A = this chain, B = another copy of it.
Amino acid sequence: MALPAFNLPPAVSLVEVGPRDGLQNESAVLDSQTRCQFARKLAACGLKRIEAGAFVHPRRVPQMADSDQVLRGLAQDTGVSWSVLVPNRQGLDAAIAAGAREIAVFAAASETFSQHNIHCGIAESIERFRDVVEPAVAEGLEVRGYVSCVMGCPYEGPVDPQTVTRVCTQLIDLGCYQISLGDTIGVGAPLQTRKLIDRLLSLVPAGQLAVHFHDTYGQALANILAALQAGITTIDSSVAGLGGCPYARGASGNVATEDVVYMLNGLGIEHGVDLEKLIEAGRDICKILDRPVMSKVSLASIRTPDPNPQSGSD
């Protein structure tokens, strides 16, 4: 059988979203010191790109209150790019004052989702982001763009890949160094992933794209495999599977970093993360949050063989 090569990149960059996208979607509210400790523990695992907070209104998102203190607390922790979500100019100013070197803006590929999530349509959101991205870039900050609903929308259903392409290129044109493609409701399957990425790669270099999968339908790792095969080398994930989309409450959310790292190890792809320490960090934060670990790798690695098994097991 003459099959095509498996085609995998030699190394990837992991973007850990647990302390922001993760914690933001947990019901417990942690103080800034606890969040700092959590973020630092993740850095100690070898993660080099970590979402640390969001400069949003604390009444709307209490989980992200005092993100300025989190960022200030992490100022000594160099060698890591601490990213913070910034929705507007006011947030940008506060982020810069707190020492931010990397920020993220958040768009959607669905009109209805954009309206629900950030209270304006797609075109208006891009215009608003201009007031954030351009001054941020002028200040020497790195800006990452998120595009949600790239595989489907909880309101509109299927999302036109042309819309995804348009929003991505608009954000890049504004000055974003990378776009994270979010399958917000986890509906994508690997062929859709491959097709979307192939389409984007005809316009944008692979290094400017990242994938952000949710495991709601169990497809996240298969989608990541398809993305890797297509040439993607940046993967967003959340330790212990923290967080998720509040539009699908109770659904499993972000793919767990532990499970991604396990797969990458098996694929022989370099990532620089210590899986044992990561499992530990995930368990620790889940204890604090009083919620179960959503990483299968973490759950599997605490189990011991049954001393008295039945026969005929496959």
A residues neighboring B (CB under 8 Å): 1, 3-8, 17, 21, 24-25, 54, 56, 60-61, 64, 85, 87, 106, 116-119, 146, 148, 154-155, 180, 182, 184, 186, 188-192, 194, 198, 201-202, 206, 212, 215-219, 221-222, 224-226, 229-231, 236, 245-252, 254, 256, 259, 262-263, 265-268, 295-297, 299-300, 303, 305-306, 309-314
Task: Report which of B119, B245, B314 forms a contact with A314, defined as CB distance below 8 A.
Answer: B245
| Copies in the assembly, this chain | 2
Task: Report which of B192, B215, B266 forms a contact with A219, defined as CB distance below 8 A.
Answer: B266
5 A-B pairs whose Cβ atoms sit less than 8 Å apart in the complex: A6-B194, A56-B311, A190-B263, A225-B226, A247-B305
Task: Report which of B117, B218, B222, B297 forms a contact with A256, defined as CB distance below 8 A.
Answer: B218
Question: A221-B218, A222-B224, A297-B217 in contact; A201/B1 too (CB < 8 A)?
Answer: yes
Give the complex CA separation of A300 and B64 in angstroms.
Answer: 27
**Nearest B residue to A302 by beta-carbon distance?**
B250
Give the complex CA separation of A251 and B87 in angstroms.
Answer: 41
Give the chain B neighbours of A190 by CB distance below 8 A. Answer: 6, 225, 263, 266-267
> When the two chains form their complex, are residues A300 and B216 in contact, meaning their CB atoms are under 8 A apart?
yes
Task: Report which of B106, B202, B222, B313 forms a contact with A246, defined as CB distance below 8 A.
Answer: B313
CB distance from A262 to the nearest CB of B (A): 6
Give the chain B neighbours of A1 by CB distance below 8 A. Answer: 198, 201-202, 206, 230-231
Give the chain B neighbours of A60 by CB distance below 8 A. Answer: 310-311
Give the chain B neighbours of A201 by CB distance below 8 A. Answer: 1
Give the complex CA separation of A148 and B194 in angstroms.
Answer: 32
Give the chain B neighbours of A21 by CB distance below 8 A. Answer: 313-314
Give the chain B neighbours of A17 by CB distance below 8 A. Answer: 314
> When the two chains form their complex, are residues A218 and B259 in contact, meaning their CB atoms are under 8 A apart?
yes
For A188, A198, A249, which residue has the most chain B Cβ atoms within 10 angstroms?
A249
> When the two chains form their complex, are residues A222 and B189 in contact, meaning their CB atoms are under 8 A apart?
no
Give the chain B neighbours of A245 by CB distance below 8 A. Answer: 313-314
CB distance from A295 to the nearest CB of B (A): 7
Give the chain B neighbours of A266 by CB distance below 8 A. Answer: 188-192, 219
CB distance from A172 to the nearest CB of B (A): 17
> When the two chains form their complex, are residues B247 and A146 in contact, meaning their CB atoms are under 8 A apart?
no
For A212, A226, A312, which residue has the most chain B Cβ atoms within 10 angstroms?
A312
Give the chain B neighbours of A230 by CB distance below 8 A. Answer: 1, 3
Give the chain B neighbours of A25 by CB distance below 8 A. Answer: 310, 313
CB distance from A279 to the nearest CB of B (A): 12
For A117, A186, A219, A252, which residue has the most chain B Cβ atoms within 10 angstroms?
A219
> When the two chains form their complex, are residues B216 and A296 in contact, meaning their CB atoms are under 8 A apart?
yes
Give the chain B neighbours of A306 by CB distance below 8 A. Answer: 246-249
**Nearest B residue to A266 by beta-carbon distance?**
B189
> When the two chains form their complex, are residues A312 and B225 in contact, meaning their CB atoms are under 8 A apart?
no
Besides A217-B262, A245-B313, 6 more A-B contacts (Cβ < 8 Å) are A6-B226, A64-B312, A117-B311, A189-B263, A247-B309, A251-B299
